[in-house]
Chain A
Amino acid sequence: MRSLLDFLVRHGSAFLFILLEGLSLFMLFGMNDRQNSAFMTSAGNLSGGILSVSSGISDYFGLKAENTELATENAMLRDYVEVLLADTVSEFRNQASAYGINVLARVIDNSIRKDDNYITIDRGTVDGLEKGMGVYNARGVIGVVMLAGNRNSIVLPILNSKSSISCKIKGTDHFGFLEWHGGSPYDAKLKDIPYQSEVVKGDTVVTSGFSQSFPESSLVGIVNRVERRQNDHTLDIDVRLATDMTDLGWVYVHTQTDDPEIEELNRLVEGN
C-alpha cells in the first residue's frame, strides 16, 4: 500500500497528465462533429459495434409493433389473393364479409401438454367470427373455432382428441380425417385413407375443402410414416404437422361461411 502511494506520488504528474489529456480528447471526440465522425468511422469500429448491438436490441423491442403491421398487411393480401383466385376460376360465390375473408387474430392462450388442448384468440363475433371457421397461420392449419364469444373465441386445435379435420393427400382425391390422440405436439394421425391408395412418406397432406372451414388445399402437414395393417381397410398414417403448434403468435381466421344452399341442404339431411 505504501509503495503504491509512493508510486502514485512520484508519478502523480504523469497520472494527472493522462487524466487531463484523456478528458480533453474525450471532449474533442465527443463534442466536435468532425473528430466525432472520424472516430466513428475509422477508429470507431468498437463504438459502431456497440451501436449496432443497441439498435438490434431496440429493433427487437420494436418487433411486436412491426409484427402487428406485417400480419395485418398479410391478412389483407391474403384477402386479395383469394378474391383474385376466385375471380379467375369464377367460383367465388360468396361475397367477402365486411370484416374481410381472413380475420387477423392474436393467440392469447395456448396449451400443448394436455390431452385436450385449446387455444384462445382475441377475436369474436364482433369481428365476424362464428363457430366452425378455420384457423390457420402462414405455415398451415391450426384448428377450428369451437366457441365464439363477443370479443374472444376458443379454438379447437388439431391437438385435441375432439378435433377432426377433413384432409386429403395432395394430388389425389383420397380423403380422411386428421386426428390427434395425445403425445407429440408435432405429429398427428390421418385416418380413413383407403387401404389401396398409394401414399408414401413425404406426401403432402392438405385440407379437402369439404367442410369449407378451410379453403381447399390448405397445407396441413407431411406424411411421416405409412403403416399398412392387415385385416384393416384403411391406412395408418403419421403426419408431421406443418404448423408448429408450440409457437403460435398471430393467426388468421377464415371467415368465409359455407355456401348457404349447401348449409341448408346439410341441415335438411341432418334434420331427417
Chain B
Amino acid sequence: MKTLAFFRHLLAMLFFAALQVMVCNRISLFGYATPFIYVWMILRFDSFMSKGSVLLWSFLLGLSVDIFTATPGLNAAAATLAGMLQPSFLEISVRIDKHDVVRPSCASMGNSHFALYAFLLLFIHSLALFILKDIPIDNWGTVILSAVGSSLLSFAIIFCLDLSFSRNKDRRYTSGL
C-alpha cells in the first residue's frame, strides 16, 4: 500500500513538474501572471498524510521544477513553505474528525471552503516565490502584483480543473482505522 502511494506520488510529481516547466512557465499573462499548476499536487495531499511526508514531497516537487528551470532552490523554497502550511490550512478550512481522510477538493470540502483554502495557499506560495526571485527587491509593487496575478490565475485554472475532475470518491470517507 505504501509502495503504491510512493509511486503514485512520484508519478504525480514528475507529471506536475513537467506540466509546469513545459507549459505553465511559458505563460505570462500581462507580464505578471504565471500559473503555478504544480501547487495543485500540494493542495491535494490528504489529511491522513504525515506532515513530514507532505513537506518532503513538496520539497522534491519544487526541486524537480527548479532542476528544469535552472533556478535551484527557488521553487523548492516556496513549495516547502506551502507544504509546511498545507496541513494546518486544511485543518482550519474544514472540520476533520479523527478518522476522517480528507482529500482536498471542491467535492470533499465544498466549493467556498476549498476556494479559500486553495487561494490562500497559492497566494502565500506565489508571494514567497516572487520575493525570493526578485531579491534584492527594487519594486515591491511588481512583486505584489506578480504574486496576486499569479495566484489568481493559478487558482482559476486549478479551481476549474478541480470542478471538472474531482469526483464523488473524493467525498469524505472513513479510514479503516
Contact = CB atoms under 8 A, between A and B. Distances in A.
Contact of A42 (B63, B72, B76, B136): B136
Interface stretch (A13-21, A123-131, A261-269): A13-21
Interface in B91-136: 132, 135-136
A160 to B, nearest CB: 65
A227 to B, nearest CB: 71
B63 to A, nearest CB: 8
Interface residues of B, number: 22
Contacts, number: 66
Interface residues on A, range: 20 to 34
Interface stretch (B3-11, B38-46, B49-57, B140-148): B49-57
15 contacts: A16-B55, A17-B80, A21-B77, A23-B59, A24-B74, A24-B80, A25-B77, A26-B73, A27-B76, A28-B71, A28-B77, A32-B71, A32-B72, A39-B135, A42-B136
A145 to B, nearest CB: 63
The 4 closest A-B pairs by CB, nearest first: A27-B73, A28-B73, A24-B77, A13-B51
Most buried by A among B52, B73, B84: B73
A24 B76 contact: yes
Interface of B: 50-52, 55-56, 59, 62-63, 66, 71-74, 76-77, 80-81, 83-84, 132, 135-136
A13 B72 contact: no
B145 to A, nearest CB: 19
Contacts of B80: 17, 20-21, 24
Contacts of B135: 34-35, 38-39
B51 A25 contact: no
A228 B177 CA distance: 112
Contacts of B136: 38, 41-42
Contacts of B77: 21, 24-25, 28
Contact of B59 (A20, A28, A38): A20
A12 interface: yes
Given A13-B51, A20-B59, A34-B135, A25 B84 contact: no
Contacts of A25: 73, 77, 132
A5 interface: no
Nearest to B75: A24
A31 B73 contact: yes
B120 to A, nearest CB: 18
Contact of A28 (B55, B56, B74, B83): B74
Contact of B62 (A17, A24, A38, A42): A24
Contacts of A13: 50-52, 55, 84
B41 to A, nearest CB: 16
Most buried by B among A12, A32, A34, A38: A32
Contacts of B62: 24
Nearest to B84: A17
B146 to A, nearest CB: 15
B52 A12 contact: yes
Contacts of A41: 136
Nearest to B78: A24
Most buried by B among A20, A30, A32, A35: A20
Most buried by A among B50, B80, B81: B80
Given A21-B77, A28-B77, A35 B56 contact: no
A25 B79 CA distance: 12
Contact of A20 (B55, B72, B74): B55
Nearest to A35: B135
B55 to A, nearest CB: 5
A27 B78 CA distance: 13
Interface in A35-52: 35, 38-39, 41-42
B31 to A, nearest CB: 18
Nearest to B81: A21
Contact of B52 (A16, A28, A29, A38): A16
